[in-house]
Amino acid sequence: MRKILIVDDDQKTRILLKAYLEKNQYEVKLAHNGETFLAEFQRFADELSLVILDVMLPDTDGFALCKIVRRRSNVPIIMLTASSDETDRVVGLELGADDYMGKPYSPRELLARIKAIHRRMGLENAAAPRYYRFLGFTLDTVERTVMDADQKTVALTGLDYQLLKYFVAHPGDILDRTVLSEETRGRDSGPMDRSLDVQISKLRDRLNDDGKSPQLIKTVRGAGYVFSADVVASAS
């Protein structure tokens, strides 16, 4: 159980943080204000392994949400704030937060703190899947290779591999272009930037996935792309 709920009113921050944490094998749920956070918390409370609360929100603040969470759950809480006031940190910790980070922060440091909390909970010992199998293909995340049904290696570029790995780790999810661009190239794609679409077209060709009637990577008009094949993930 490595499901994290994040509330932050900045859309770009939410999307980039979600992409970064999912790249590191966490499942992430997002909220943009207190109301949506509480709805998502109510829905996933028993499944969450951690909550990240931004202190400054348009309809409430992270302190109020921290108190509500603590009345209902012992799930670990990390609080984020742009304030340099030590009082904010003390208040958050006294309300039951487990850790506190100031903005701007390094995603790598935030990930390290998440892992530290999860290690204490015994969640960081579970092996991440090595293999992803779909429609006769096998992706090996250790060897960084893809084999077809005839056990022949599929020639992929580094970007092809990164994109495919992200797709198979999120089967059935509609993935928008911003997340995919950040995942494969480390930057956003502008509205007129078609390089991601070209890359997906090339990946379809390498997997013999007909672009006119794809079985693997389907376009969701106005929303992004979805990996529609069934995926079986395993450690061996």
* 38 touches 68 (CB < 8 A): yes
* 175 touches 224 (CB < 8 A): yes
DSSP states of 113-145: HHHHHHHHHT-TTSPPP-EEEETTEEEETTTTE
Half-sphere CA count of 193, side-chain side, radius 13 A: 12
What is the Cα–Cα distance from 182 to 65, expressed in whole angstroms? Answer: 30
Give buried/exposed letters for 217-234 (b at 16+ CB in 10 A, else e).
beeeeeebbbbebebebe
Model confidence, pTM:
0.54
Per-residue pLDDT of the chain (236 residues; tens, 9 = 90+): 589 999 999 899 899 999 989 888 889 999 999 999 999 999 999 889 999 999 999 999 999 999 999 998 989 999 998 766 667 778 878 888 988 888 888 888 898 899 888 887 776 555 568 899 999 999 998 888 999 999 999 999 888 988 999 899 888 888 888 878 876 765 555 555 678 889 999 999 999 999 889 999 999 988 899 999 999 988 88
